[in-house]
Structure 1
């Protein structure tokens, strides 16, 4: 478990795109490994550099996500290592049966990259939102599920899953550039939580885009006299329960923040890890309310998983405990 204590993150750093950062990484991996092959569904942003170097290492199935997964599974059975990418809402929902039966049941080493998971496509609306991707993919047999916190974390995760051929993996990628987080957010093993900021009063566990929101909340809570620790949890399935328990330690309050539905997500998994005798736990997550047409940041606020919502949850709990004392 990485437990590096660091200063507040630099808010002035320009946001970075996961797709832009991953494109050269994937191209280099394909060049280095003759068994690696990429598969896309009418989307080339991730694989453009692969195509430039060697178009034979890229298969485009068109707008047909079920086909995408079936082709990837066939390539895996032929001894290749496929990396398949598509927009998350369509990859997860349209190809759910194929992912389960063609890839997960036989345990094939297929890497699935879901672009725009969560609320990343913002004003395109609920047809393009995928807050259910973590829930659905965590229910798959043998599937590893990752939700990187920023572009550097996404690079670390993809390199990790490419090196592991034991089974399938799903990686949620953002659709737009994300805030740049401290180096500790992408250091060490992505299967373990990383402590980004220390504090004794509360631990905020966050995943994906909510990690930046948690750091913002911690900055605000410091002004309120609350010492908030922040940790990033990138691996959601299998869940690093023992490492989370160790990280929580003796802190009296844990808050989880995730841009996803609760089932199979960060909040319930943390609750299971801590058990009934654990500290007070507040779980912030999305729900099934119909969203407004709004930008990504506004949607995080609508569902109550932005920095201000995290800060408010901590202060409300603190005030309630003060009144009860």
Structure 2
């Protein structure tokens, strides 16, 4: 199976051929994968070098001319480092772009903390009007990327990861999808953590919702699920733990409920390790998830 990033390269190259409005801005990362596309569309494929603030600024300038720019680099360099440009050049100027990241929270542990971005979605939450897609499979990444490019002039973030579920699920760029139904609580699995959640909840009487679009948050979908499964909610997110707890609480504001947010911890892990070791250290492996989910649904008070 190809990776989400492999699929991004293939699909973006096709979009450049198919749609004269699409442009691509790179900051060194990924440039070799787009050599042929750049030769075909030298006016719409631009590599600004290791200048991430310029990456966003150039994309915003393209958007002002009527283009639909796709901006790509590692998440830490796409959202965190040029955050002022994301806020001002895109947000304040009220223009849209499609930000497509790589490396997720810890996809390249050997790169160290500079190449990790568990706080990216939480940071975008401080801004207005962003759609955030978190695919869990290359097929989903393709569908959501095409959806993002076609979304008029909206501001869209597509968060890619080398972690992926075995099977693709239907995605529509809006709603949570019910994977399993139960009566003792709701577990929302985001993107590439679905397989871990399904293994963790095997045999538990819970509803499992699958979320690949987390902003806007599907409040109506969560309310429908809790109406039949009960008001206990566990959010399992592949980025900073608790990122969506406020959104879940708002969705259920008029209903007595409990929410547990699981995800990447705030403590920096200072050893490279492997992806699997980072998953386990943050309690996102199936065994740890089962213990934490079951404990919470059994009435224990647990912190994410």
- The CA deviation at 1:188 is 4.0
Secondary structure class of the residue paired with 1:21? helix
Structure-2 residue corresponding to 1:261: 240
Q: Secondary structure at the match of 1:191?
A: coil
Q: Higher relative contact order at CA 8 Å, sep ≥6: structure 1 or structure 2?
A: 1
Report SS of the residue matched to 1:209: helix
Partners of 1:67 and 1:172 in 2: CA distance:
20
TM-superposed CA distance for 1:239, in Å, is 1.4
What SS does structure 1 have at the residue aligned with 2:106? Answer: coil
- Shift of residue 279, structure 1, vs aligned partner: 3.8
Equivalent position to 1:289, from 249, 263, 267:
267
> Partner of 1:8 in structure 2?
none
Separation in 2, partners of 1:97, 1:113: 17
| Residue equivalent to 1:22 | 8
Give the drift of 1:290: 1.9
Q: Give the alignment of 1:1-325 within 5 angstroms.
A: 16-44=2-30, 47-48=34-35, 50-51=37-38, 53-174=40-161, 176=162, 178-181=164-167, 183=168, 185=169, 187-219=170-202, 222=203, 226-252=204-230, 253-262=232-241, 265-275=243-253, 277-291=255-269, 292-320=271-299
Match of 1:7 in 2: none
Report SS of the residue matched to 1:201: coil
Deviation of the 1:320 alpha carbon: 4.6
C-alpha offsets along residues 233-257 of structure 1, whole Å, 9 cap, x if unaligned?
A: 1222221211221133221332111
Counterpart-to-counterpart distance in 1, 2:223 and 2:109: 34
> Is 1:36–1:83's contact at 8 Å kept on the other side of the alignment?
yes
Check conservation: 2:207, 2:225, Cα contact below 8 A: no
Residues 218, 229 of structure 1: 8 Å contact kept: no
Change (3 A) 1:103 1:235: same
* Structure 2 CA distance for partners of 1:298 and 1:104, relative to 1, 3 Å: same
Contact 2:179 2:208 in 1 (8 A): yes
What does the per-residue CA deviation read over 1:47-102, in whole Å, with 9 as the maximum and x for residues that have no partner?
Answer: 45523643443100011100101111111111111111011111112210011100
After superposition, the Cα gap between the structure-2 partners of 1:172 and 1:198, relative to the gap in structure 1 and judged at 3 Å, is same
Alpha carbons 1:195, 1:230 under 8 Å: kept: yes
- Residue 314 of structure 1 and its aligned partner are, at CA, apart by 2.6
Classify the secondary structure of the residue corresponding to 1:141: coil
**Structure 2 Cα separation of the partners of residues 216 and 51 of structure 1:** 43
CA contact (8 A) 2:206 2:229 kept: no
Segments of structure 2 that go 5 or more residues without pairing to the other structure are none
Q: Secondary structure at the match of 2:183?
A: coil
CA deviation map 1:148-177 (0-9, x unaligned): 222121111111111112321111111x25
